[in-house]
Amino acid sequence: MNVFAINGSPKGNGNTAQALHLLLGEVSRAGIETELVTIGGKMIHGCIGCGKCRESQDRRCGAFPNDAVNELLPKMIAADAIVLGSPVYFAGINGTMKSFLDRVFYVAFANGGLFRLKYGAAIVALRRGGGTAAFDELNKYFQISEMTAASGCYWSAVHGALPGELNQDAEGMRIAKVQGRNLAYLLKLAEYGQSAVAPPEIIERVMTNFVR
């Protein structure tokens, strides 16, 4: 089993990254392989709705083929779980993370549900307010992809402005660790039950527009 984590912050050792390390540390202690990458400082264009990913034979974004989306997508497809961490900008996730996730998850959606039945976990870092809105935003990517999200013991957010200030948020640190342990537990259950329980059959996709 393996977990692939994405730090949406441009800071490789800021509060978002440190929260992810807390979460992933509990996963690693359960004997599960983890990997963390930071994308916040990369140039990543948002989705332009061109539909080229639906025509792709190699499950790639065709509009911007040479950025982090196509670089990291194979690792996300191969992973058993995907962990998302973002700083909170204006009560939402930061723009680079938004652009990355919109494109990655749309490629996965357009190619038959590449993340279907994987596990996920999301956590955000913030100074003061807007954490639940950003946390909800991350979890919506899991929901539309038929993924199962691991919970913590509260809405998963750590507080702090300067890097390292999350260490003053004892409750936030506990939430990250609990979430990591719960994710590891779900993965162990999945590994144990794969040979005994068949995955649910796919129901044919139906799209209903509100305006005809």
- Residues 128-169: tens digit of each pLDDT: 999 999 999 999 999 999 999 999 999 999 999 999 999 999
Contact partners, residue 169, CB within 8 Å, separation at least 6: 158, 159, 160
- Is there a domain that residue 61 lies in? yes
Q: What is the mean pLDDT of the chain?
A: 96
Which SS3 state, helix, strand or coil, does residue 124 take? strand
The pLDDT value recorded for residue 212 is 64
List alpha helices for 79-130, DSSP H: 95-110
The pLDDT value recorded for residue 95 is 98
> Is pLDDT of 58 > 90?
no
Mean pLDDT for 34-56 is 94
Q: The domain containing residue 179 runs over which residues? A: 2-193
- Is there a domain that residue 203 lies in? no
The pLDDT value recorded for residue 10 is 97
The pLDDT value recorded for residue 195 is 87
- Is there a domain that residue 198 lies in? no
What distance in Å separates the CA atoms of residue 183 and residue 177, rounded to the nearest whole number?
10
Closest C-alpha to 72, from 41, 28, 103: 103
The total domain count for the chain is 1
Long-range contacts from 45-48, C-beta under 8 angstroms, 24+ separation: 45/99, 45/103, 46/98, 46/99, 46/102, 46/103, 47/99, 47/102, 47/103, 47/106
Q: Please, which pLDDT band fits residue 122 given cuts at 50, 70 and 90?
A: very high
- Is there a domain that residue 136 lies in? yes
Identity at 146, one-letter amino acid code: E
What distance in Å separates the CA atoms of residue 115 and residue 165, rounded to the nearest whole number?
34
- Is there a domain that residue 204 lies in? no
CATH number of the domain enclosing 43: 3.40.50.360
The pLDDT value recorded for residue 211 is 78
- Is there a domain that residue 125 lies in? yes
The pLDDT value recorded for residue 59 is 87
- Is there a domain that residue 208 lies in? no
Q: How many CB atoms lie within 10 A of CB 59?
A: 16
CA dist 189 → 81, 200, 204 (Å): 13, 16, 27
- Is there a domain that residue 68 lies in? yes
CA dist 20 → 3, 76, 121, 149, 177 (Å): 12, 16, 10, 15, 9
